[in-house]
Amino acid sequence: MKADIEAKETVKRGTVLVVEDEAIVAADLANKLGHLGYEIVGPTPRGEEAIALAQETRPNLVLMDIRLQGRLDGVEAAAQIRRDCDLPVIFLTAHSDAATLERAKTAEPFGYILKPFEERELDTTIEMARYKHEAEHRLRESEEQLRLITDATPALIGYVDAASLEYRFANREYETWFGRPRQTVVDKTMIQVLGRAAVDQLRPHLERALTGVPVRFEIEASYASGARWVDVHYIPRREAGGRVAGVYELVQDITQRKRTEEALHESREHLALALAGARMGTFEWNVRTKEILWSAYHYVLLGYRPGEVAASFEAWQQRVLPEDRPDLLRKVERALDGTEEYQAEYRVRWPDGSIHWLWVMGRFLIGQRGQTERMLGVTMDITERKPNPEPS
């Protein structure tokens, strides 16, 4: 049992730099700290020596008297140690007057101990200071990780205060969009950063988010840096009592995507006109989902009004003459591996009883995993070429 107690007493809880100009107080401190399991660095009565020892030994904590010998007092020495070494400092002082404590705040200490003090008070203050310093360090690391992630994201990421509509955070992308350092974005209003025209367009969505509802929308906004199509997320942040304190914003530039979509839409419109002029219809079959799409003129070729029935294998088969189905289906099956397209001629019967000859060409598309994914095809009426209707 005695050996266990001695072993525990030899376990060091860390190192403490003692900076105290009174030799008796310094000796008492060293004695108390040693009893608590701490290793002592110093003591020293001078601020200049304290800075040098802190840089050389990197203790876990500094106990610093405010009044010291030499050119620097405890407040000045603590500020430099905090700045250069990032060490927690606890001030020792016999003065509790407001002026002294107010000046000491400028060094951002992690605690105060008024002389004289008990060992228990010393132990508790040191533990709290070390815990606070570790928590602060973890918070800085977390903030740095967040900054790295947000700066690597090609989108605006910001936080806006609900009351003032001022930015409290802005990532690096604001510099790219608006040509100004992000430091000049923080504490500026949305109107000052984005421009009044853009804010007027965004306001209805922002006001909804300020009621506590997450909002996502696409809009062409007239920013101060020019018009852009944007995909905007507004995510409200609530305080513990439920009040909305602010809104996180994630804004992605989708201008290029919108231009591509518009160009694709125009291309499809032109294709549809060209196919209709050539009396051709198109169809698409998603093999995985079984979804089938017909163009408007494909409906017409089968004797339906566009949209009259859902595009389906059954609706198509209902129109195909029974004697033409087997050969047509065999040709489709042979083309399933995607190595070649298929062509066929077959007949359909319209509701009025008339027979129409159709020509079809289709091809299956193979995905990256080697599986058949879709079939695309075109159909054309060739009845006029068949004066004597017979199956091909």
The CATH architecture to which 259-385 belongs is 2-Layer Sandwich (3.30)
Lowest-confidence region among 63-67, 81-85, 277-281: 277-281
Residues of the chain with CATH 3.30.450.20: 153-253, 259-385
User: In this predicted model, what pLDDT tens digit does every residue of 171-189 receive, in sequence order?
Assistant: 999 998 888 888 899 999 9
Round to whole Å and give the CA distance between 146 and 99.
38
Distances in whole angstroms, Cα of residue 117 to Cα of each of 94, 109, 113, 282, 322: 10, 18, 7, 90, 104
Round to whole Å and give the CA distance between 29 and 18.
8
Q: Does domain 2-146 have CATH number 3.40.50.2300?
A: yes
Query: What is residue 93's predicted lDDT score, i.e. its pLDDT?
Result: 81
18 confidence band (pLDDT: 50, 70, 90): very high
Determine the number of helices (DSSP H) and then strands (DSSP E) in the chain: 13, 15
pTM: predicted TM-score of the whole model, two decimal places: 0.54
Residues of the chain with CATH 3.40.50.2300: 2-146
Output the CA angle 295-301-302, nearest 5 degrees. 100
The CATH architecture to which 153-253 belongs is 2-Layer Sandwich (3.30)
251-256 long-range contacts, CB within 8 A, separation 24+: 251/155, 251/156, 252/154, 252/155, 252/156, 253/155, 253/177, 253/228, 253/229, 254/218, 254/229, 254/230, 255/228, 255/229, 255/230
Query: What is residue 379's predicted lDDT score, i.e. its pLDDT?
Result: 92
Q: Of the candidates 69, 52, 70, 128, which has an alpha carbon nearest to the alpha carbon of residue 17? A: 52
